[in-house]
Chains A and B, each alone.
Chain A
Amino acid sequence: MVDVALQSSRTATAQAGRKRAGLRNALRRKSMSAFLMTLPLILLIAVLVIYPALYSLHLATLNKAMTKFVGFGNFEFLFKRETFWLVVKQSCIFAISAVVFKALIGFIVAHFVHNVPANKQRKWRGMLLVPWVIPPAMSTLAWLWLFDPSYSAFNYTLSFFGLGPIPWTGDAMWARFSVILVNVWYGAPFFMIMYLAALKSVPEQLYEAAAIDGANWWQRIWYVTLPMMRNIIAITTLFSLIVTFANFDIVRILTAGGPLDHTHIFATWAFRVGIEGSDIPLGASVSLFMVPILAVAAIFILRDITKRGNES
């Protein structure tokens, strides 16, 4: 009996000792201290991102007066409205075409800048970045004046060629073209600078090897430049897709969603419904709709990156 008690107390101390050692070891582990050091940032993100996200989820389940839980009621209501599907379509057209053109123009301009002699490159880089560093709310106002139907520089210039006047923001198709144009103008420099950095990281000798192997300029881009830039292209495209999809300021200032809701995208329509229409739960439901669409895009693009990351 005594023996057993002695033994059990011994195991208890041994266990306690092991526990203390375990804590010490855990602290000593690099991953643990790394976690502790990043904890403030994790908390900050939790407060600024996770809380609002959950709150908007909560909002989306309430009725207009925010007094009653309605479950998926807001979503059911949205699905039945034609305007909602118009916004879905327009958001996709807006984001995809704007990103494609931004990427294309950025890629071409990056090549031009890359071939400018190094001493003049800084000047060009700086000038080409200007659209991106001006707050879009300001620059869009300038575009608004340029697009003015009666007094604008665009229509005035076109009149010399016997063209126009073009209803830049008045006609549904032209208005869509205009918001995409401004978004491309604003976003292309970002692509340009990312692609320029990627281009600079492609070793010159790969191009020389390809030239000797018999590749022409197009084959060099297709077989060397693009594969070497794939990750950068994927990440920039994803990033830009998210930002463009969630765009608010350009559309809001240029057309405010008009004419007849034909340029509304998720963010502007959510604002129109939620703030201007005083139906905050419905606005929250609209804005939540961006999440699954962007999540699908993110999964596809990032999966490709990790796959190739593992390969190399």
Chain B
Amino acid sequence: MADVSLRKVVKRYDEVEAVRGIDLDIADHEFVVLVGPSGCGKSTTLRMIAGLEDISDGDIMIGGDVVNDVPPKDRDIAMVFQNYALYPHMTVAENMSFGLRLKHYPKAEIKSRVTEAARMLDITDLIDRKPKQLSGGQRQRVAMGRAIVRNPKVFLFDEPLSNLDAKLRVQMRIEIKKVHQKVRTTTVYVTHDQVEAMTLADRVVVMNHGRIEQIGTPNELYHKPATRFVASFIGSPAMNFVPCRLEDVGGKLNVRLTDRLSFPLPPARAARYQGLSRTDKLLLGLRPEHVMEARPHAEPGIEPFDAVLDVTEPMGMETLVYFTLEGSQLCGRVNPNAGAQDGSPLRLAVDLNNMHLLNEVTGAVL
């Protein structure tokens, strides 16, 4: 068990900078997820921690020791790959014990560790099979077993669930979380799936273009995104953005979306945005759950407006409604009994108590 630190880590491929100076501290026992779109440098970062890629600049520390020039086998880490990377000519038991056998552990010790890991992952019956005789989910369990038996300082997961179907992915997600609760090994997990990131992580690191956009707990990222990228990347369906500007109407601060549509800000928000320029181009950010059907009685900060729905998506417990406002497509979540229908008008409301205001140029959340 150990903490992991990255100090100004850079990865250059010839002219291209894949990772542009990352600082990250991962505490002992922590489960950290690196998330971002493909090409954002998350896998490269993980591979640098593993020692599979050289570091162009900066330092990586595991358990306080700089490991920049330490080969992977001496870093005391275990990695689970996207395509499992099981040795096809070895049985499940041989696959799991390979690392221990190379290190000449006593046979009894190897056997007990493999048995224990197999029991934990519920693959005891498969122990003598070859990887080809296993399903995708079972192979993933074996790959995790291979990591567990080594009892390493750090677990590294490189998109381990991407090759599984949706149902199995949810199931394995829970398995991974259970395993982490049992073994408590420091874990770095890479995924492009923000749901995986949110559900698994103690802390999520959102990456984009080789930089860290924001580090925070899943709730922090969801409710207090720092940038437009984080705001739009986290959450499904994604956050709505509408161009807007601030204006003073009768001594009160309003947010004007269109010529006809302007909402007064609730007092807390008005106080927060009071100092902003009235001419700046801004974006109003609203999560779909904060665009809902209008209720008969007025509530503070909840402002009704009329919309014509383009498309509705009934999800059962809610209906997603899509409509256009001054050229931007918006998504709202309404009660399935609100009478939302394709092409029909519906009176909706926005919850400005949960609004975000962004600078349109810099993308910073204000």
Contact = CB atoms under 8 A, between A and B. Distances in A.
A192 B81 CA distance: 30
Contacts of B78: 212
B73 to A, nearest CB: 4
Contact of B87 (A211, A223, A230, A312): A223
A211 B81 contact: no
A208 B102 contact: no
B339 interface: no
B83 interface: yes
Interface string A184-216: 000000000000000000010110111111111
A227 B131 CA distance: 14
Interface string A281-312: 00000000000000000000000000000011
B92 to A, nearest CB: 14
B83 A211 contact: no
Contacts of B130: 311-312
B99 interface: yes
A228 interface: yes
Contact of B85 (A209, A216, A230, A311): A209
Sorting the interface of chain A by its residue count into under 10, 10 to 19, 20 to 34 or 35 or more gives 20 to 34
A219 interface: yes
Given A208-B52, A214-B103, A219-B102, A227 B77 contact: no
A227 B87 CA distance: 9
A129 interface: no
B79 A208 contact: yes
Interface in A200-256: 203, 205-206, 208-216, 219, 223-224, 227-228, 230
A216 B103 CA distance: 11
Given A212-B72, A213-B98, A228 B89 contact: yes
B71 interface: yes
Given A212-B79, A312-B132, A227 B89 contact: yes
Nearest to A205: B85
Contact of B77 (A203, A212, A311): A212
B98 A223 contact: yes
A50 B191 CA distance: 61
Contacts of A228: 88-89
B50 interface: yes
Contact of A213 (B88, B89, B99): B99
Given A205-B81, A208-B52, A214 B89 contact: no
Given A223-B98, A311-B130, A312-B132, A213 B73 contact: yes
Q: Which of A209, A223, A230 gathers the greatest number of chain B CB atoms within 10 Å?
A: A209
B296 to A, nearest CB: 59
Contacts of A213: 73, 98-99, 102, 146, 150
A211 B98 contact: no
A86 B307 CA distance: 99
B73 A214 contact: yes
The 9 closest A-B pairs by CB, nearest first: A213-B99, A205-B85, A214-B73, A209-B85, A227-B89, A214-B102, A211-B72, A212-B72, A312-B132
Given A210-B98, A211-B52, A214-B99, 18 more contacts: A205-B81, A205-B83, A209-B79, A209-B81, A211-B51, A211-B71, A211-B73, A212-B72, A212-B77, A212-B78, A212-B79, A212-B99, A215-B102, A216-B73, A219-B102, A227-B89, A230-B89, A312-B132
25 contacts: A205-B81, A208-B79, A208-B81, A209-B81, A209-B85, A209-B87, A210-B98, A211-B73, A212-B51, A212-B73, A212-B99, A213-B73, A213-B146, A214-B99, A214-B102, A215-B73, A216-B73, A223-B87, A223-B98, A227-B87, A227-B89, A230-B89, A311-B130, A312-B130, A312-B132
Interface of A: 203, 205-206, 208-216, 219, 223-224, 227-228, 230, 311-312
